[in-house]
Structure 1
Amino acid sequence: MAKGNPLQQQLLKAGLVKKSQVSQAAREQEKARHGKGPAAPTDSQREADRLRAEKAERDRAIEAERKAGAQAQERKAQIRQIIETQKVARDGDSEYRFNDGTLIRTLLVNAALRRQLAVGSLVIVRFGDGFELVPRAAADKIRERDAGVIVLDNGQNKGHDEPSTGNAEDDAYYAQFQVPDDLIW
């Protein structure tokens, strides 16, 4: 104990610390003085770290894609359930024609269903290979999930101005003619 730190010796003499504590502190100081710092990473370690990071990123991307697919499937199932539970029974012998993209489709409806379609209280939606009629409330729920399923919604444009021809004089002239909503073509 001849070589110890003078402060440590004074603390030992005063009885404030034990000899084992002084020895432990001395060993830790010696290790800190002579101890090695962290070794520089080798090329193989850097390559392994890079590969681990790439794999983790790929795994995150795959998981995100899987979650997006699962959410899309869930939305489709919700839409299918809404249509199955809310669809309106179709009957009648009158043809109702509507646009489905570039094609003209036909549904057989009665006069009451035709009026409801014209005013927008019923909406035509795509269901499997065919089409179904659903009430406006159900159509709004479907639109929240996937607006592409809705084929015809005459009530969606309510509150918007009538389409313009671009010429104010023509618009004023044609405004005097009433076009029926249930025009059969």
Structure 2
Amino acid sequence: MIMAKLTLQEQMLKAGLVNEKKLKKAKKGSKKSRVQAREVKAAVEENKRQQQERDKELSSQQKEQRLSNEIRAQIKQLIEMNKVDLGDGDIKYNFTDGTLVKSFYVDTLIRKQLISGILAIARYEETYVVIPSVVANKIAQRDEQVIIEQKEAESTEVAEDDPYADFVVPDDLMW
């Protein structure tokens, strides 16, 4: 009956199946395995947290890429649907793209509309196209880098006390 109240380790020690040295070694080993289990669990938790952060970052990058692709597709569609056919122009129209001076040939009507701000110039793939200013405004909301030249629509308002009101300065000179 007394044996029933003893722990299994004590019972095995009394029965002579193990000695004190083996008993201490077993206790020490079980404590070590518990510590190792805690360390492994902490490492697994850390790896899981890092993986979630990487997944979240990758997901946000993919979302940004999708949004960028959608914007480019919208711009492409707007340009393709609204580009103005230049035809066989005989007047050279010069414009700047950054520090470069570019040009193409247009007819008189398109030149006047470009100067007055009715039409604008946009970069499209490897070339330039002429589009209506309304469309250029929509494109600029998505990506300002695409619009190369867009003049403000002319306002014909003249101040009442303007001493030079009678002298018109031409701003559509060819250069």
Maintained 8 Å contact 1:124/1:151? yes
Describe the SS at the equivalent of 2:113: helix
Q: Any stretches of 5+ residues in structure 2 without a counterpart?
A: 1-33, 156-161
Question: C-alpha separation between the residues in 1 aligned to 2:116 and 2:95?
Answer: 14
DSSP-derived class of the 2:84 partner: coil
Report the equivalent of 1:112: 109
Aligned-pair distance for 1:155?
Answer: 1.6
Aligned match of 2:28? none
Contact 1:125–1:150 (8 Å) recurs in 2: yes
- Helix, strand or coil: the match of 2:93? strand
Asked if residue 86 in structure 1 is aligned to residue 82 in structure 2, the reply is yes
Runs of 4+ in 1 over 6 A off after TM superposition: 174-177
Q: What is the percentage of aligned positions where both structures have the same residue? A: 35
1:92-147 deviation digits (Å, cap 9, x = unpaired)? 11000001001000011111111101110100000111110111111111011111
Q: Which runs of 5+ in 1 are unaligned?
A: 1-38, 160-171
Distance 1:177 1:104 in 2: 30
**How many pairs are equivalent?**
134
> Residue 117 of structure 1 aligns to which amino acid in structure 2?
L
Distance 1:44 1:175 in 2: 85
Q: 3-state DSSP class of the match of 2:52? A: helix
1:180 is aligned to 2:170: yes
Q: Look up the match of 1:61.
A: 57
CA distance in 2 between partners of 1:45 and 1:176 (Å)? 87
Q: TM-score, normalised by structure 2?
A: 0.69
Q: Distance in 1 between matches of 2:152 and 2:108?
A: 18
Q: TM-score, normalised by structure 1?
A: 0.66
Secondary structure in structure 1 of the residue aligned to 2:85:
coil
Q: Which amino acid aligns with 1:65?
A: Q
1:43 deviation in Å? 1.4
Aligned to 1:138: 135
Where does residue 72 of structure 1 map in the other structure?
A: 68
RMSD: 2.5
Q: Could you tell me which of 147, 152, 167 is aligned with 1:150?
A: 147
Matched to 2:171, the amino acid is D
What is the distance in 2 between the residues matched to 1:178 and 1:60?
A: 61
Distance 1:64 1:148 in 2: 24
